[in-house]
Structure 1
Amino acid sequence: MWRRLIRLVAALAVCGAPAAQAASVWVVELEGAISPASSDYFIRTLERASDEGVELVVMRLDTPGGLDKSMRDMVKAILASTVPVATYVAPNGSRAASAGTYLMYASHIAAMAPATNIGSSTPVSIGGGGGSPFPSPTPTPSPMPTPGSAPESEPSSEGDEGSGGSADDRPAHEPADAMGRKVVNDAAAYLRSLAELRGRNVEWAEETVRSGANLAANEALERGVIDLVAADLTELLDTIHGRTVTIAGVERTLDTAGAEVQTIEPDWRYELLGIITDPNVAYILLMIGIYALILEFYNPGIGVGAVTGVICLLLGAFALQMLPINYAGLALIAVGVAMLAVEAFTPSFGIVGTGGVIAFVIGSIILMDTDLPGYKVSYPIIAAFTAVSVGVVAFGLGAALRMRRARVATGVESMVGATAQVMEDFTASGRVRAFGEVWNARGEGEFHEGEDVEIAAVDGVIVQVKRTGPATRAR
């Protein structure tokens, strides 16, 4: 009897127990250059995933590279995350080039789909405002060895960790200047540290930074650069189920088999940042804001120019502070616009205006401190705003010339050259009517009533007149 009662209680307990909830996996899709917008989108998603207890965040990646600052912010978020991150280069034909390689090395799980590649992680320039950018790689074919010559040896990374060694020991691909070597050494050390943290290939991490090496998916798996190759997301989740990853120093076993997969769609903030952090859009907003304010000060009205100018300036400034800008270029643009405004309000016959146009053009060209494709201000846009600036100079110069050539419109000086009418016959002196008033007049010769004469000079209340044609008598 007791056994039956125990079995009954156990059956009721089993029936009443809630079914185990399936693990949740979030998928974040990043396609294109790593930018401030994509960095903000990923970091905010990772924070939400931590708050909601998500089992795993999968970053499906296809990138040609991106900005160093944005990439480092994402790496920091991954390293500090309480949710495991799997970076998955997919679909077929995708790549994790340049900055994408760093994200792969930083992730808890690194996976690639077939027919994908990873590498080309050499920084290409030094960013004064936003760190060194990582380019969209353009593969350079290696020269083929000539018959009878020894094949070109692989570059060695030994001795490059410090100052780069002497000029004789330095590999051919290493930058010749000291600043360039510092940037490359910093990037190499950063990627090596990530490789050591995740137990991945340290030697190849050095190689991809110093020589821009690339690997296909299967080669990356063989050399220990990634953890697995998976044809699709389902295979990825099934393969990593039961694997152990380290989160904040604590080992954690992944439970991803049969997980509920949710793709996180970008929100309005991501879309807005994606638009305004385009260098061309940021530049246009900045210029519209400046010229709208100049227009408002030149011709005060109901405040439309001021409101438009302030909004555009704030949006442009917000975008520029997230981009790798050259502050010397920004200062030249500001000086150029200021000189153009001076030319428009206090014309200097083109001297100040010409200098303003030159400063404006140079500043616009060097504004973006990066060689990364897609992060330069378009030359046609610069040309368009330069034309507007030249128009401002031309307007100011034309106004100055017109003012110089124009007749005086007020005062005694405005009477000189005007026409007056003789009121009575006189010789040497008499009276004329001008500007609705009667004036005492003097002139050489005889003048007849009703005759039109020209005022040659004004002396107090007496006007000096002269005949404009042969003597005539009014009838």
Structure 2
Amino acid sequence: TNIGAAHPVSGEGKPIDSIMNEKITNDAVAKIKAAAARHGRNAEWAEKAVRESVSITDEEALKLHVIDLIAENVDDLLAKLDGRTTKVSVGEVTLRLDHPRVVHIEISFMEKLRKLITNPSVVFLLFSLGGLGIVLELYHPGAILPGVVGAICLILALYAFQTLPINYAGVALILLAILLFIAEIKVVSHGLLTVGGVISLILGGTLLINDVSPAVQVSKTLLYTVGGFILVILLIVIYLVAKVRRNVPFVGREGMVGKTAEARGDGFVFVEGALWKAECEEPLLPGEKVVVTAVDGLTLKVKKQN
């Protein structure tokens, strides 16, 4: 192991202005020198660790009197501490650790969950799948599950944004990707908008975290996997929608008029195994039964079933 590199940094990963940096550094130096002097440690090296971010190995730390001992594990540590004298707030105490009781404190489920969802790769995955869920709900109104799962994923991603150094250019690119996916519903682009959306999504994931350290970046493997997965899913959906639209002329007006359909919300009805845009003089609730009265291009005229 190693010790050192104790120069103060911002908790958000952002640069600290020069005046504030000097104040924080001087305060940290004063505290670490006082602690080193109180415990008989190397105060000069402790100051260098803060001001110059120097770092040394465990063996070097032992030679320089930065640490008292090196232990292989918890049992070895307790054995080496047994009989040692140390200073506490009430004075000196001698440690008696010949028969210690070791209690392992596990982190709670909620702490594990927070740790998981604040992982940059998981944040990107939640944001991407949340957007995909909303898009699929718009492609197939009334499906419910994609919309619910998508909304939950987006809320969890927004929660994680509060604890990470987020680059909002990356967020904007991911939002642009979602908008392009939605636009594919309205505009016949033969998949070009979807491809553009996937490119925007990957770029957004690359820029999402405002930190140069690879340890807090979104995994490149995950970026390309999620991008490819979304591309395949949406292209399949686009193909199925286009296939239904191509079959429209073979259905005929007479064949559709009189058919019973089910309202799906947002101006769509489900009839004969396909989702159609529909117009009705009365407001419709999802699940309500309606009857097709006329066909106007790709739009059905419907009325409530008596």
Q: Assess same fold via TM > 0.5.
A: yes
Cα 1:276–1:210 change in 2 (3 A) is: same
8 Å CA contact 1:340–1:393 kept in 2: the answer is: no
Letter in 1 for 2:138: F
8 Å Cα contact 2:33/2:44 also seen in 1: no
What is aligned with 2:87? Answer: 244
Shift of 1:213: 2.7
Matching residue within 13, 22, 33 for 1:196: 33
Determine if contact 2:12/2:164 at 8 Å carries over to the other structure: yes
Deviations 1:300-357 (A, max 9, x none): 3352223322333333333343333322212221222122212234334556545433
* Matching of residue 297 in structure 1 with residue 138 in structure 2: yes
Instruction: Say if 2:33 and 2:46, in contact at 8 Å, map to a contact too.
Output: no
Q: Pick from 13, 27, 36 the counterpart of residue 131 of structure 1.
A: 13
**What SS does the corresponding residue of 1:262 show, helix, strand or coil?**
coil
Q: TM-score, normalised by structure 1?
A: 0.42
> 1:256 matched to which residue of 2?
95
Aligned CA distance change for structure 1 residues 325 and 181 (closer, same or farther; 3 Å) = same
Q: Quote the Cα distance in structure 2 between the aligned partners of 1:224 and 1:130.
A: 33
Q: 1:339 aligned to 2:180?
A: yes
Q: Does structure 1 retain, via aligned residues, the 8 Å contact 2:126–2:156?
A: yes
Q: Which has the higher contact order (CA 8 A, sep 6+)?
A: 1
- Measured at CA, do residues 191 and 384 of structure 1 come closer, stay the same or move farther in structure 2, by a change above 3 Å? same
Give distance in 1, aligned partners of 2:177 and 2:126.
17
Query: C-alpha distance in 2, partners of 1:282/1:321?
Result: 11
Report the TM-score when normalising by structure 2. Answer: 0.61
Aligned-residue offset at 1:386: 1.8
1:263 partner SS: coil
Separation in 1, partners of 2:142, 2:243: 27
Query: What's 1:267 paired with?
Result: 108
Q: How far apart are residue 409 of structure 1 and its match?
A: 6.1
Task: State percent identity of aligned pairs.
Answer: 30
| Deviation of the 1:235 alpha carbon | 3.7
- Structure 2, unaligned stretches of length 5 or more? 255-306
Quote the offset at 1:122 in angstroms. Answer: 6.3
Amino acid aligned to 2:153: C
RMSD: 4.1
1:413-454 residue CA offsets vs partner (Å, 9 max, x unmatched) = xxxxxxxxxxxxxxxxxxxxxxxxxxxxxxxxxxxxxxxxxx
For residues 390 and 183 of structure 1, what CA distance do their matches in structure 2 show?
47
**In the TM superposition, what whole-angstrom CA distance separates every residue of 1:331-385 from its partner, at most 9, and x where no partner exists?**
2212221222122343345565454333222111011222334322111211122
> Which segments of 5 or more consecutive residues in structure 1 lack a partner in the other structure?
1-94, 96-116, 133-177, 413-475
CA 1:265–1:408: 2 relative to 1, 3 Å: closer
Cα 1:370–1:286, aligned 2, differ >3 Å: closer, same or farther? same
Name the aligned partner's letter for residue 77 of structure 2: L
Deviation at residue 221 of structure 1 after TM alignment: 4.2
**1:21-59 per-position Cα deviation (integer Å, ceiling 9, x unaligned):** xxxxxxxxxxxxxxxxxxxxxxxxxxxxxxxxxxxxxxx
Question: How far apart, CA to CA, are the structure 2 residues paired with 1:297 and 1:352?
Answer: 16
Q: Which amino acid aligns with 1:371?
A: V
Report what 2:272 is aligned to.
none
Contact 1:188 1:205 (C-alpha < 8 Å) held by counterparts: no
Contact between 2:181 and 2:193, CA under 8 Å: does it hold in 1? yes
SS in 2 for 1:229: coil
Pairing of 1:224-373 with structure 2 (within 5 A): 224-226=65-67, 228-231=68-71, 232-241=76-85, 243-246=86-89, 251-254=90-93, 256-258=95-97, 260-301=101-142, 303-348=144-189, 352-373=193-214
- Displacement after TM superposition at 1:214 (Å): 2.6
Structure 1: distance between partners of 2:245 and 2:147: 29
Number of residue pairs aligned between Structure 1 and Structure 2: 243
Larger radius of gyration: 1
Name whichever structure is richer in helix by fraction: 2
Counterpart of 1:215 in 2: which secondary structure? strand
How many Å separate the matches in 2 of 1:293 and 1:340?
Answer: 10
Provide the C-alpha distance between the structure 1 equivalents of 2:127 and 2:51, rounded to a whole number of angstroms: 38
How big is the shift at 1:225?
3.0
Alpha-carbon contact 2:135-2:178 (below 8 Å) kept:
no
Aligned in 2, Cα 1:254/1:363: closer, same or farther, shift over 3 Å?
farther
